[in-house]
Amino acid sequence: MLIKIANAVVVAFAALALTACQPGDDTGPDAIAAPGLITIGSNPAGTHVYAVAAGLAKTMQEKGGLRTTIRPFSGSSVYLPLLQRGELALGLNISIDAYLAYAGLPPYDSRMGNLRLLGMMFPLPIMYMVRADSDIQKVEDLRGRNVVVTFRANAALEQLHTGILATGGLTPDDVNSVVVAGLPEAMRMLTEGRADAVPTGLNTALALQVNSSVPSGIRYITMGADEARLAEIMPGSEPVTIMPRAGLAGIEKPTRVAGIVDYLNTSVALPEDLAYTIIKTIHDSWPELRRDYTQMADTPLEAIAPANIVHPYHDGAVRFYKEAGLWTEQHQRNQDRLLELN
């Protein structure tokens, strides 16, 4: 229901991903320069990121002639350092994680100045999810409850979750803060009643599984009254309104959530011509990607190249966007400003 993709495609790319995780896999620095093998880092199976990574791999292989595999990790904080060191060709990362990594802000010990952007792949609304029969309606109601705040595999999300809590006048100390390895563990805790609220992207496959397994189903709560606190604590995020619609589980009325985006990232180690080919292939296949993947359905073609970026574009992407007429003076100003930080 969430992803219009044949089961055979999911199975095929899951198998590729498992193969990519085996010892001795060719994902070191030499693999980045090899046009015959491209590895995309993603979050675990069942997430929006994994589904989109599978779609990108399929597109790059079938339309671009680039042999591509996906490699799932427990979270994007795990593979951002691999991108920085040039040990992974591509990775899908949320904008707030990319911002913190490139700026060298906690939880990262130093700046990841080698990170480069290829394009924006899809928006990702995030909010706390509860059982539909819970009395929790808004962020303020989380006080004193068992609330997942920290994902060890994606440390940047803790700051976003803290920003969401702040909209309701709360800090992590005002709830029974729960630490989990990643989203699958958090979902199990909600299903088993060990957590009252879990932060997650809307309508992910894992959320839909919980919706099916919990008798009452699921529901997303709405942001607190002090929405300005979100962007103050977590730059790169903003409050957005999600409307009820067919096929969207857990949204019963207009709901205010945290909006971020998911980037396709690489590093300076990726050759310019290969970066150009990758983003051109994705750009040229955008209508099909929007048709086949719900996450990308509402994203117009021009949104692939946002001007308001948090880390620089790769030179190969810049070359393509100039040729495609998507590069503006604002793009260049932000590119120059970010490159000056190195």
Q: Per residue in 34-91, pLDDT tens?
A: 446 899 999 988 788 999 999 999 999 999 999 999 999 988 888 999 999 999 999 9
> Helix (H, G, I), strand (E, B), or coil: what is residue 27?
coil
- Quick check: is 44 in a domain? yes
Task: State whether 234 and 149 are in the same domain.
Answer: yes
State whether 219 and 249 are in the same domain: yes
Using the 3D structure, point to which of 260, 294, 314 is the last residue of a domain: 260
Q: How far apart are CA 327 and CA 118, in angstroms?
A: 13
Instruction: Give the contacts of 3 (CB within 8 A, at least 6 positions apart).
Output: 51, 205, 292, 293, 294, 295
Query: pLDDT > 90: what percent of the chain?
Result: 72
The H or E element that residue 119 is part of is strand 115-131
pTM for this entry: 0.76
For residue 325, is it within any domain? yes
Q: What are phi and psi of 157, to 5 degrees?
A: -65, -25
250 and 131 housed in the same domain? yes
201-217 pLDDT, tens digit per residue, is 898 888 999 999 999 99
Q: Determine, yes or no, domain membership for 239.
A: yes
Measure the CA angle with vertex 160, ends 154 and 161; round to 5°.
Answer: 90
Rounded Cα–Cα distance for residues 321 and 308 (Å): 15
How far is Cα of residue 331 from the mean position of the Cα atoms in its chain? Answer: 22
Cβ atoms 242, 254 nearer than 8 A: yes
Q: Is the pLDDT of residue 253 over 80?
A: yes
Indicate whether 119 and 268 sit together in one domain.
Answer: yes
pLDDT tens, residue by residue, 24-48? 333 333 444 444 689 999 998 878 8
Residue 193 lies in a domain: yes
Cα 231 to its chain centre, rounded Å, is: 17
Q: Which residues contact 329 (CB under 8 A, 6 or more apart)?
A: none
- Percent of the chain at pLDDT > 70 equals 89
209 and 146 part of one domain: yes
Do the Cβ atoms of 72 and 42 come closer than 8 Å?
yes
In this structure, the answer to whether residues 22 and 106 fall within a common structural domain is yes
32 CB-near residues (< 8 Å, 6+ apart): 86, 87, 88, 89, 267, 269, 270, 271
Domain boundary among 260, 275, 308: 260
Residue 2 lies in a domain: no
Boundary residue ending a domain (260, 287, 314): 260
Do the domain assignments include residue 1?
A: no
Residue type, 167: T
Domain assignment present for 151:
yes
The per-residue pLDDT for 298 is 81
Write the CB contacts of 235 (distance below 8 Å, at least 6 apart in sequence): 96, 99, 310
Same domain, 149 and 235: yes
Phi, psi of 137 (to 5 degrees): -115, -35
Residue 75 phi, psi dihedral angles, 5° rounding: 180, 160
147 and 226 part of one domain: yes
Instruction: Give the span between the Cα atoms of 122 and 323, in whole angstroms.
Output: 22
Examine residue 145 and state whether it is found in any structural domain, yes or no.
Answer: yes
144 and 231: one domain?
yes
Q: In this model, does residue 327 exceed pLDDT 50?
A: yes
- The CATH number linked to 213 is 3.40.190.10
Whether residue 155 sits in one domain with residue 210: yes
> Looking at the predicted structure, is the pLDDT value of residue 2 above 50?
no
Which residues have a Cβ under 8 Å from the Cβ of 229 and sit 6 or more positions away?
A: 163, 166, 167
Statement to judge: residues 256 and 130 lie in one domain: yes
Same-domain pairing of 301 and 205: no
Distance CA 266, CA 275 (A): 8
With a CB cutoff of 8 Å and minimum separation 6, the contacts of 244 are 251, 252, 253, 254
Residue 247: the pLDDT is 84
In total, how many domains does the chain have? 2
Structural domain range at position 137: 125-260
